């Protein structure tokens, strides 16, 4: 029986004099219409298999709040807060936390120590990871300029790698180390997580549910801890339509009381015992999908992140907690320089499917919202929230911030992003490109998508064989072709819930935080995504960044 989580019932909310409506009004979005005419008119009408026209009409009516932006002269006092404090950061080798560490060190060279939990077999390997993945990274080039020949010394004084694992009891940290650092830490920042959508269920539960619980226990032992800050995801409610509020998740309130986390842990552990080898991997992935979908979530990733939040909410006692919920995090907008990203993930596999593999098909709704937020804005929002709530005098606090872009007057649409990417990759192709890229085709069913990709792959194979081989009506792919087809079908299944996404993330708390910044803080810690010109960001910042990352990955 399918049990839907109760967030799926809230469709409209009135906030400070403005309204969000989740119903489709038939009125075009003027911001989008303007960008549309600037960027894509040349190609309209050429596409046979997409939902372009209808989805543009089916746009959500949205009214921006008419509020004046005031910058309090004092502001939050972010720089003052950072100075001298010590931090315990998890996920430091990951995309987000690396940018966070860079910004903390750059904004406040007088910061205390930053302890970094790292999966490593011993201290030497942890030190090596610190050097190879952080100190040597191009991301830190501004800090290198700032500190010149003292750069490495500065970094090694501030950044202390701690051997550990969120998946182990007591975080896998040696007890003497844990005791020593628990004396010093002011803020715990949890950015570690398993981020693969269709992850094996046991591993996702261990890192995303038990991990935060263990970290919370560690936080409770830290004598002068002022704040526990947890990075979650905006997709944590599993809600696909309407408005997603910045409210904590709580079983029996906004999450069905049928969900029992102990039962989920038991199911995963039984599956580990019952299956072995490659079958175990397959079964645990299937279990993750099945359990998530049965409770109304998209995948094991968002479902386990939700359970992680629930555990924090229910076990925090009187610990002040801030939960940051970013949407899809992409390349840096400005800081430390535009276009930095780590890994070929998030929207990159979709873009490269067209630009690199020359497959024009997507299982997606052209008009669905692609809630993207640049990594430096997530970092700045996180630091501002930490400084605001980290004073240690608000014990009852649990505050959620959606650091997102879909409630802006100019949200980015999936089709628009793909059009921009397509045009850019036609004008400035990847080395793999051997022929003109076909325009994207949007499919509403997996069957239609699979059949179209098979035909395209068969056509590619015929062209490679100089037109010889099966007649067009017969699709018999080579082994390599079948492998490619399987890849595209599994990618489509994995991304499907996010590519038909209709909800908007309410960001009232985040917007209030922006209002509290002083003029100076506003310049130094900008996280107001409503000013992003998406066309400029996608074409001039994100895609060049993605190409650079592709080159870096190839060369390593």
Ligand X SMILES: NC(=O)c1ccc[n+]([C@@H]2O[C@H](COP(=O)([O-])OP(=O)(O)OC[C@H]3O[C@@H](n4cnc5c(N)ncnc54)[C@H](OP(=O)(O)O)[C@@H]3O)[C@@H](O)[C@H]2O)c1
Residue 192 interacts with ligand X (CB under 6 A): yes or no:
yes
Least distance (Å) between residue 279 CB and ligand X: 23
Contact region with ligand X (CB under 6 A), list: 33-41, 186-194, 314-322, 469-477: 186-194
51 alpha carbon, distance to own chain's centre = 26
Least distance (Å) between residue 444 CB and ligand X: 25
Sole binder of ligand X in the list 85, 239, 305, 356 (CB under 6 A): 305
Residue 134 interacts with ligand X (CB under 6 A): yes or no:
no
Residues with Cβ within 8 Å of 27's Cβ and at least 6 positions away in sequence, in order, are 59, 61
3-state secondary structure 379-445: HHHHHHHHHHHCCCCCCCCEEEEEECCCCCCCCCEHHHHHHHHHHHHHHCCCCCCCCCCCCCEEECC
Least distance (Å) between residue 195 CB and ligand X: 4
Least distance (Å) between residue 322 CB and ligand X: 14
- E-assigned strands of 158-316? 159-163, 187-190, 227-231, 243-244
Give residue number: closest CB to ligand X: 94
Least distance (Å) between residue 137 CB and ligand X: 13
Least distance (Å) between residue 382 CB and ligand X: 10
CA pair distance 151, 141, nearest whole angstrom? 10
First to last CA, the chain: 47
Contact region with ligand X (CB under 6 A), list: 88-96, 266-274, 356-364, 528-536: 88-96
196 burial level (CB within 10 Å; 0-12, 13-18, 19+): middle
Residues in 524-543 at the binding interface with ligand X, rule: CB under 6 A: none
Contact region with ligand X (CB under 6 A), list: 185-193, 333-341, 483-491, 541-549: 185-193
Sole binder of ligand X in the list 93, 243, 354, 368 (CB under 6 A): 93
Nearer Cβ to ligand X (167/242): 167
Work out the number of other CB atoms within 10 angstroms of the CB of residue 528: 17
Residues in 355-384 at the binding interface with ligand X, rule: CB under 6 A: none
CA pair distance 556, 551, nearest whole angstrom? 9
Longest dimension (CA), the chain: 75
Contact region with ligand X (CB under 6 A), list: 57-65, 188-196, 362-370, 482-490: 188-196
Annotated active-site positions, please?
301, 305
Contact region with ligand X (CB under 6 A), list: 87-95, 281-289, 348-356, 507-515: 87-95
Nearer Cβ to ligand X (231/440): 231
Contact region with ligand X (CB under 6 A), list: 36-44, 85-93, 333-341, 466-474: 85-93
Residues in 104-133 at the binding interface with ligand X, rule: CB under 6 A: 117, 119
Sole binder of ligand X in the list 52, 103, 194, 422 (CB under 6 A): 194
Residue 350 interacts with ligand X (CB under 6 A): yes or no:
no
Site string for ligand X, 23-52 (x = CB under 6 A): ------------------------------
Q: How many residues bind ligand X (CB under 6 A)?
A: 27
Nearer Cβ to ligand X (121/474): 121
Residue 94 interacts with ligand X (CB under 6 A): yes or no:
yes
Least distance (Å) between residue 139 CB and ligand X: 12
Nearer Cβ to ligand X (91/360): 91
Residues in 323-342 at the binding interface with ligand X, rule: CB under 6 A: 326, 328-329
CA pair distance 317, 481, nearest whole angstrom? 55
Sole binder of ligand X in the list 5, 29, 182, 191 (CB under 6 A): 191
Sole binder of ligand X in the list 134, 135, 166, 255 (CB under 6 A): 166
Distances 79 to 99, 146, 386, 393 between C-alpha atoms, Å: 17, 17, 11, 19
Residues in 233-292 at the binding interface with ligand X, rule: CB under 6 A: 233
Residue 189 interacts with ligand X (CB under 6 A): yes or no:
no
Q: DSSP class of residue 278?
A: H
Q: Which helix (H) or strand (E) holds 151?
A: helix 151-158
CA pair distance 351, 424, nearest whole angstrom? 11
Nearer Cβ to ligand X (212/242): 212
Nearer Cβ to ligand X (56/134): 134
Nearer Cβ to ligand X (192/363): 192
Least distance (Å) between residue 339 CB and ligand X: 16
CA pair distance 269, 262, nearest whole angstrom? 11
Do the Cβ atoms of 446 and 497 come closer than 8 Å? no
Site string for ligand X, 199-238 (x = CB under 6 A): --------x---x-------------------x-x-----
The helix/strand/coil state of 453 is helix
Do the Cβ atoms of 169 and 218 come closer than 8 Å? no
Least distance (Å) between residue 15 CB and ligand X: 23
Nearer Cβ to ligand X (382/452): 382
> Of all residues in the chain, what percent are helix, strand and coil, respectively (each to 5)?
50, 15, 40
Of 200, 502, 131, 193, the C-alpha closest to 329 is 193
Residue 402 interacts with ligand X (CB under 6 A): yes or no:
no
Scan for tokens 């608000």, then name that residue. 394
Nearer Cβ to ligand X (78/207): 207
CA pair distance 192, 119, nearest whole angstrom? 11
Nearer Cβ to ligand X (232/456): 232
Phi, psi of 391 (to 5 degrees): -80, -10
**DSSP-derived pairing of the beta strands 227-231 and 187-190:** parallel
| DSSP H helices in 316-358 | 348-355
Of 526, 534, 497, the C-alpha closest to 198 is 497
The dihedral formed by the CA atoms of 258, 262, 267 and 272, expressed in degrees to the nearest 10:
160
CA pair distance 403, 333, nearest whole angstrom? 14
Provide the binding-site residues for ligand X, judged by CB under 6 A: 90-97, 117, 119, 165-167, 191-195, 207, 211, 231, 233, 305, 326, 328-329, 346
């Amino acid at each position: 029986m399918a049990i839907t989580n109760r967030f799926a019932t809230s469709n409209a909310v009135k906030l400070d004099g403005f309204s969000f409506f989740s119903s489709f009004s038939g009125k075009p979005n003027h911001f989008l219409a303007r960008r549309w005419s600037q960027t894509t008119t040349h190609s309209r009408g050429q596409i046979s298999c997409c939902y372009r026209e209808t989805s543009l009409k089916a746009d959500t009516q949205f009214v921006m709040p008419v509020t004046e932006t005031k910058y309090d002269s004092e502001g939050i006092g972010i720089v003052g807060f950072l100075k001298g404090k010590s931090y315990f950061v998890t996920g430091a080798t990951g995309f987000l936390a690396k940018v966070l560490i860079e910004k903390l060190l750059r904004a406040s060279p007088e910061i205390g120590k930053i302890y970094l939990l790292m999966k490593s077999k011993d201290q030497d390997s942890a030190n090596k990871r610190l050097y190879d993945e952080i100190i040597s990274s191009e991301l830190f080039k501004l800090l290198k300029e700032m500190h010149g020949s003292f750069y490495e010394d500065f970094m090694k004084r501030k950044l202390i790698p701690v051997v550990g694992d969120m998946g182990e009891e007591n975080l896998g940290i040696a007890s003497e180390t844990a005791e020593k650092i628990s004396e010093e830490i002011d803020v715990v920042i949890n950015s570690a997580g398993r981020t693969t959508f269709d992850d094996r269920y046991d591993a996702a539960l261990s890192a995303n549910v038990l991990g935060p619980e263990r970290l919370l226990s560690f936080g409770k032992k830290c004598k002068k801890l002022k704040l526990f800050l947890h990075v979650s995801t905006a997709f944590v409610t599993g809600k696909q339509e309407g408005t997603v509020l910045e409210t904590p998740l709580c079983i029996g309130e906004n999450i069905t009381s049928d969900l029992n986390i102990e039962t989920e842990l038991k199911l995963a552990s039984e599956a580990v015992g019952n299956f072995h080898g490659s079958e175990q991997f397959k079964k645990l992935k299937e279990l993750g999908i099945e359990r998530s979908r049965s409770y109304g979530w998209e995948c094991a990733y968002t479902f386990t992140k939700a359970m992680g939040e629930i555990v924090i909410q229910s076990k925090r006692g009187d610990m002040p907690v801030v939960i940051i919920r970013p949407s899809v995090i992409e390349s840096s907008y400005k800081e430390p320089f535009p276009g930095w990203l780590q890994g070929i993930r998030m929207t990159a596999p979709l873009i490269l499917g067209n630009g690199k593999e020359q497959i024009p098909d997507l299982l997606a709704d052209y008009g669905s919202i692609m809630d993207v937020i640049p990594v430096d804005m997530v970092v700045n929002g996180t630091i501002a929230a930490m400084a605001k709530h980290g004073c240690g005098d608000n014990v009852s606090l649990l505050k959620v911030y959606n650091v997102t872009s879909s409630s802006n007057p100019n949200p980015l649409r999936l089709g628009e992003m793909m059009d921009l990417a397509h045009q850019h990759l036609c004008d400035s192709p990847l080395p793999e490109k051997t022929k003109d890229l076909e325009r994207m085709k949007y499919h509403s069913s997996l069957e239609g998508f699979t059949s179209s990709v098979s035909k395209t792959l068969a056509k590619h194979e015929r062209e490679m064989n100089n037109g010889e081989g099966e007649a067009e009506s017969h699709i018999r792919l080579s082994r390599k072709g079948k492998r490619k087809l399987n890849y595209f079908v599994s990618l489509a299944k994995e991304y499907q819930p996010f590519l038909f996404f209709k909800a908007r993330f309410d960001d009232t708390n985040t917007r209030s935080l922006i209002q509290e910044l002083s003029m100076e803080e506003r310049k130094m810690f900008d996280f107001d995504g409503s000013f992003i010109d998406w066309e400029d960001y996608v074409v001039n910042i994100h895609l060049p960044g993605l190409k650079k990352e592709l080159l870096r990955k190839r060369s390593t």
